[in-house]
Amino acid sequence: MIDYFILIFRILIFPGFTFILALTLFCDWIERKIEARIQNRVGPLVAGPGGILQPLADFIKLLTKEDIEPTSVKRFVFKFSPLAAFAMMIFAFCFIPIDGASVLSTTGFTGDLLIILTFATIANFILFLAGWASNNPYGIIGSTRVLTQFLGYDIPLYILALSPAFLAGTLSIFGIVQSQTLPYFLLVPWAFVLFIIVMQAELEKDPFDVPHSESEVVGGLETEYTGAKLAFIHLTRDVQVVFGAALVVTLFLGGPNGPVFFGLPTFWHALWFTLKVILVVIISEYLTTIFARLRIDQVLNLNWKIMLPGAILSLLATLAVINWVIPLVM
């Protein structure tokens, strides 16, 4: 009985839904603050101390806004895809060991790395459907751009995600985290750098934010969305950003590993995990602010001509490390 209780607590409160949501909104605030400071602005300031509640306030504000459904949309997909995408992202998050174990307090299963990458892909595909169903030229162009970019960059992403898996000798996320006594970004820094760049493209942030380039496609796939649906699309985007950061942390920065000083190890693991996620978010936001947006053809050129060969070379270099460097050290 108590087991069930703990499980429900873990899913709903910590480290599940509520914690992920809080982390997402917090990271959103950090992003906005960092971006503002780099751009010589102040950023959010009013809601809460230092404007920390601004993302929450924005979310609630959107929830209360009028929800308009244009007549030409494909009703069913239009209505449910924002929620479905959001649910998909949260579900993928549940496999990431935040406080030492995954949300379902299992150690996962072999191959769950592939599962969460697939979930992330599906979530993006659902967002594509959202734009497609809105039946608006900007929405359609925006969502085809999402698909073009996402599918292209998925290939190097999967290949790069294999590096830690090869190093750990397993496709299980828990296994990868466990074997990182030395964080992998020290062992295979090239894979880490490439992974960060590919992640930037996956998350559609500058210089890869072509699906959202408002000067060309207005709101992209969000053009027809209003009110609560828009709130959930925004939230999905934010969760995606944190999920991307969490993936980097898990694969290359040792996940929740870190020194435990006193009290509950769960607390310390979650703290280390959060701090690392924030670090990655800051790096990603820094990249966003210092670059201009590329054109869609330039983004794809970069994908197929540099990122894909780069990912394959990186994998070969990782294999070389596994076969020749590690035996020397051990």
Partner 1 sequence: MQKSSEEFVNAIENKLNGKIQIQIGTLGKAAITANNGIHRDLIKVMLEVDDQTSIVAITGLDLGTNLGVYYHFRSQSGYYTIKAEVPKDNPHIQTITDLIPGALFAEMEGNDLFGIVFDGHPSPGRLVLSENWPEGVYPLRKDVIANQVKLVPPKNVAAEPDDNKTVKIIIGPQHPALIEPEKFSVSVEGEIVTKVEPRLGYVHRGVEKAAELRTYIQDVYLVERVCGICNGPHAWSFSGAVEKILNVTVPRRAQFIRVITLELNRIHSHLLVLGHAGLEIGYETLFQYFWRDREPIMDLIELTCGNRVYESMISMGGVRRDLKETDSPKIKAVLEDLRKKIPFYKQLYENEPTIKARMKDVGVLKREDAISLGVVGPVARASGYAVDVRKDEPYEVYGEIPFKEIIYTEGDTWARMNVRMDEVEESINIIEYALDNMPKGPIRVDIPREILAGEAVNACEAPRGELFYYVKSNGTDMPDRVKVRTPTFANLPSFFKTAIGGSIADVPANFVSLDPCFSCTDR
Q: Which residues bind partner 1 (CB under 8 A)?
A: 35, 38-41, 137, 141, 206-207, 209-210, 213-216, 218, 289-298
Residue found by looking up tokens 């379902």 in the block: 104
Least distance (Å) from partner 1 to the CB of residue 207?
5
Burial of 309 (0-12, 13-18, 19+ CB in 10 A): exposed
Nearest approach in angstroms of CB 204 to partner 1 is 11
Give the relative orientation of helices 112-133 and 75-93 as an angle to the nearest 10 degrees.
160
Nearer to partner 1 (CB atom), residue 75 or residue 295: 295
How many C-beta atoms lie closer than 10 Å to residue 262's C-beta? 7
How many CB atoms are located within 10 Å of the residue 228 CB? 17
**Between residues 80 and 291, which has the closer beta carbon with respect to partner 1?**
291
Q: Which is nearer to partner 1, 28 or 112 (CB)?
A: 28
Nearer to partner 1, 208 or 272 (CB): 208
H or E stretch at 76: helix 75-93
| Residue 271 contacts residue 99 (beta carbons within 8 Å) | no
- Does residue 217 contact residue 138 with C-beta atoms inside 8 Å? yes
Closest contact distance (angstroms) between CB of 135 and partner 1 is: 14
Q: Which is nearer to partner 1, 39 or 106 (CB)?
A: 39
- Shortest Å distance, C-beta 41 to partner 1: 6
Give least dist CB 70 to partner 1, A. Answer: 16
